[in-house]
Structure 1
Amino acid sequence: MNEDKYVVEGLYGVYLLYCTNPEYEGRTYIGYTVDPNRRIKQHNRGTHSGGARRTNNRGPWEMVLLVYGFPNDISALGFEWAWQHPDRSRRLRHVTKKKHHEKMYDFHLRVLSEMLRVGPWNRLALTIRWLKQEFAREFPSDLSPPRHMPIAYGPVISKKIGQSQGTTSQTSVQDDDKCLCYFCYEVVCQSEKITCISPGCLLAAHVICLAKVFRKGSFIIAVEGRCPECDAHILWGDLVRKMRGCYSNLTSSGTDSRAHCD
């Protein structure tokens, strides 16, 4: 019931999912949301309901942890990206790689512990909330969150600023509609986003950022190049045609179809 849930107004959150399906148990997923209750339903219902490709048909999933208190979506998306890619974040170069016998769940929590103690995140008024207490872990004494970041327990309800209490927030924009550019790490709007043609590749970037790479400094316009994510050789015209919706299932010979995280 709503009375048992903590109401958060103007929520921008980054969450950790845990898979309880025996076939995939232990798998994890990190994402961004403005409405945790709606988002977990989307993940468990599948991509046709707005869920992510990586969680599709692998549920049920539990949203076990939520970090919120970010001032805006850009701040939250930056945190999400760094948590997903600690090896590529310049702020997390000191974090050791996943150990051979370390479970991915434990690794994500270790990375989170480090993130909360470095700038710019250590200056934010964040809350770390265990939505499912049975999954809660104690932070190591030497990696505890800053004292101004409370650790809370229990479910939440997201409420728009000025919205009457008792109703959850609704928005016409899906959480996954926003992402960070592969090159400049700024938010990419749908109208500015260009993606790779390779099946399974999750590259997303501003058109102008990818065009600069494909131009290689020697062409007036972009002609061809390699995807920085999957290394597939691509013609610029094919990328533009996909962006404009001229076709939906373009594949190219020699494409590296490795599975990537959603």
Structure 2
Amino acid sequence: MGFHACYLLTPVQPPQRFKCTYIGFTTTPTRRIRQHNGEITGGAKRTRKLRPWEVVAVVHGFPSKFRALQFEWVWQHPSKSKITKTPLGFLSGSRGLGAPRSVKRKLVEMLEMVNLEPFKQLQLSVTFTSEEMHNISRELGVRYSAANCETRALETFAALEKEATPINSKCFICEYELYPEEEEEAEEVMGCYHGGCEMCCHSMCLLDHFRTMREDEDEQVERSGECPDCQQVLEWTLLTQHHEKKKRTRKRKGERRKRSKKKTRVAETEANEGDVDAISVSSSSSTHSFNSDGWFENELENDDNGEETSRCKGLIDLTED
């Protein structure tokens, strides 16, 4: 099933500690915090300021990346999602539960969310990275007692990185193979063009992601949206240009591999003939006379726009009706 999680960050240094927060999605928490702090590439632009950051809570147990990304969006926009707008309406103007972007407010929202459908049925777990954070949640009363909470160091998640899916082998959103062995099953692949981000996914999965995360029902979702990994804005026109460039590169590499294989086969044939009659072998004439028509046929374009696959079933509309 894999590991999929949403996390809550706050700056390490006062006076912004506990006052500012950042919510994100990850499959490797220990690596992700290093990205946010600039130790390795790939962190979100929003966390370049106020470094260093620390992870204070991790919500995990999601059956798929898609469900985790949905939870992330609702947690980021509790007043816009139909899942939380009414149940969390009591937070509006409430001073005792912290400012809208404070750690305390985000913990309240998170503990409420794990007990709201459709997330309640997932039986999610909440890990606090310190007793300090856990104690803040304990003070929240009934909403805390209804959640499955624990305390453990962030480093304990490090082992999960070894089980992470190799980069670019599976769709970032649906986790199906990007390049299946059967070519007729292949779907168009899109990749983030921002430096340091290696997100790749099926084009239809990315469109579904844009639709799910949009705030305006009338918005033209194909124009732009946030990358599900680095959360930087992706323009659809630039995505298609980037895709065509990478597609041409892959095609050239494929043709070079095929030429190399053909030359190898020709060389093997010459070597076998040489075993019988070494004098009759010409060093290169057989290579030039070899008819290679049909060896480098262009790959067929896959125009299959059939019914939505099972990996897209269960899509939750998170926006307000």
Q: Percent identity?
A: 26
- For these two proteins, the number of residue pairs brought into alignment is 194
Using the size of structure 1 for normalisation, the TM-score is: 0.59
The separation in 1 between residues aligned to 2:64 and 2:192, in whole angstroms, is 20
SS at match of 1:45: coil
Question: What is the match of residue 66 of structure 1?
Answer: 58
Question: What is the match of residue 190 of structure 2?
Answer: 191
Question: What is the match of residue 241 of structure 2?
Answer: 244
The separation in 2 between residues aligned to 1:228 and 1:191, in whole angstroms, is 13
The answer on whether the counterparts of 1:16 and 1:28 sit within 8 Å (CA) in structure 2 is: yes
**Residue from 10, 13, 24 that aligns with 1:21:** 13
Q: How many Å apart are 1:133 and its aligned residue?
A: 2.2
The separation in 1 between residues aligned to 2:57 and 2:189, in whole angstroms, is 28
Question: What is the match of residue 99 of structure 1?
Answer: 93
**What does the per-residue CA deviation read over 1:91-126, in whole Å, with 9 as the maximum and x for residues that have no partner?**
112212453742321111111121122111111121
**Equivalences for 1:222-233 in 2 at 5 Å?**
none
The separation in 1 between residues aligned to 2:219 and 2:123, in whole angstroms, is 40
Greater strand content:
1
The separation in 1 between residues aligned to 2:78 and 2:48, in whole angstroms, is 24
**Equivalences for 1:115-126 in 2 at 5 Å?**
115-126=113-124
Structure 2 counterpart of 1:68, one-letter code: H
Q: Does 1:78 align with 2:70?
A: yes
Question: What is the match of residue 28 of structure 2?
Answer: 35
Q: Aligned in 2, Cα 1:13/1:241: closer, same or farther, shift over 3 Å?
A: closer
Structure 2 counterpart of 1:140, one-letter code: L
The answer on whether the counterparts of 2:65 and 2:173 sit within 8 Å (CA) in structure 1 is: no
Q: How many Å apart are 1:58 and its aligned residue?
A: 2.0
Q: Aligned in 2, Cα 1:145/1:74: closer, same or farther, shift over 3 Å?
A: farther
Q: How many Å apart are 1:21 and its aligned residue?
A: 3.0
The separation in 1 between residues aligned to 2:191 and 2:49, in whole angstroms, is 30
Q: Aligned in 2, Cα 1:118/1:145: closer, same or farther, shift over 3 Å?
A: farther
Question: What is the match of residue 153 of structure 1?
Answer: 151
**Residue from 132, 135, 143 that aligns with 2:133:** 135
The separation in 2 between residues aligned to 1:68 and 1:12, in whole angstroms, is 6
The separation in 1 between residues aligned to 2:145 and 2:24, in whole angstroms, is 20
SS at match of 1:206: helix
Unaligned runs of 5+ in 2: 175-187, 195-205, 227-234, 244-321
Q: Aligned in 2, Cα 1:193/1:140: closer, same or farther, shift over 3 Å?
A: same
The answer on whether the counterparts of 1:13 and 1:33 sit within 8 Å (CA) in structure 2 is: yes
SS at match of 1:66: strand
The separation in 1 between residues aligned to 2:108 and 2:75, in whole angstroms, is 10
Greater helix content:
2
Unaligned runs of 5+ in 1: 1-8, 161-166, 181-188, 196-204, 216-221, 230-237, 247-262
The answer on whether the counterparts of 2:192 and 2:239 sit within 8 Å (CA) in structure 1 is: no
Q: How many Å apart are 1:43 and its aligned residue?
A: 0.6
The separation in 2 between residues aligned to 1:114 and 1:28, in whole angstroms, is 18
The separation in 2 between residues aligned to 1:116 and 1:135, in whole angstroms, is 17
**Residue from 53, 77, 80 that aligns with 1:88:** 80
The answer on whether the counterparts of 1:117 and 1:145 sit within 8 Å (CA) in structure 2 is: no
The separation in 1 between residues aligned to 2:219 and 2:7, in whole angstroms, is 34
The separation in 2 between residues aligned to 1:37 and 1:68, in whole angstroms, is 14
Structure 1 counterpart of 2:31, one-letter code: R
The separation in 2 between residues aligned to 1:28 and 1:111, in whole angstroms, is 13
